[in-house]
Amino acid sequence: MNNSTLTPATHRASLAIGEEHAAKRLVDVLTEIFFEGEAAVAAFERPDGGWDVTVHFAEAPDQALIRQLVGDAAGEETAKSITFDTIEARDWVKASLEDLAPVPAGRFVVHGAHDRARIPQNKLGIEIEAALAFGTGHHGTTRGCLLLLDHVLKARRPACVLDLGTGTGVLAIAAAKALHRPIFASDIDAPSVKVARENARFNGIGNRVQVIRATGFAAPDFAEHGPFDLVLANILANPLRQLAGPLTRHLAPAANVILSGLLNHQAAAVIAAYRARGLVPLRHLKIEGWSSLLLRASR
């Protein structure tokens, strides 16, 4: 076996905490205490609105000390709730490939290389490696976007499509395969731009997907490629609200907009931001605690 993907065993401390401010305060405290390389600290919001904090250690930690530190920062009850475990060494890339089954979403099927031969001929396969887990279709937001894209394409064939915040490129690839026309995509993150371009080439449509690095709509490329009659944006709730104005200014009349990256309780605020700019909500999908929205410009 090639040991380049073998991840060594690590030790983990996990706890649940009530709300975002407390979780981030705890992360800040723990990050300041441990030297770089001693521990990796992260906080994640759950679909129910609560937060999980995890700390990964290269060496077995002093459990009493960890409980004391957490107790000082977040209270004794939180400290008592900490669980400790060990994550054994394994080839995570190989394991993730074995564990992830193809994900159907309307006419689309997102899959890894190991399932290439299992995709039905009447489906559009999108091959994305499992090592890039977020954005492979196995996340509720990506699947929601693909289902809404399939719904839109049953009624319309948009000429100018934008995938904003493309990530792995899965939505741009889906649109390019279904429409057989160029798709414009962007991401704020340089590595994501590289990955999206590689995935488009790997899926045989590198010439149809143009990906640029851009923050919001600042780049002149958006005006050159627009106005768009379909925009896909699987980002996060706050950026989507902030981008409501710039995004709507780049829309063609009666354009469709698909938004995701929202926890269910965040959807109403995002809908309100786009309603204020003349977009009408048409569909709202909820998958695994995440919301995906389809809206249409009224003008």
The bridge status of strand 6-7 relative to strand 83-87 is: unpaired
Please check the confidence at residue 193 and state whether its pLDDT lies above 50: yes
φ/ψ bin of 49: left (φ > 0), alpha (ψ from -120 to 50), beta (otherwise): left
Instruction: Please tell me the distance from the alpha carbon of residue 14 to that of residue 12, in angstroms, as a whole number.
Output: 6
Residues making up the chain, counted from first to last: 299
pLDDT for res 42: 81
> Taking residues 177-191, what's their average pLDDT?
94
Grade residue 95 by pLDDT with cuts at 50, 70 and 90. low
Structure tokens that stand for 210 in this block: 């143009």
pLDDT for res 33: 80
Domains of the chain: 3-92 (3.30.70.2880), 100-297 (3.40.50.150)
Output the average pLDDT for the chain.
86
What pLDDT digit, counting tens, does each position of 151-161 carry? 999 999 999 99
pLDDT for res 258: 98
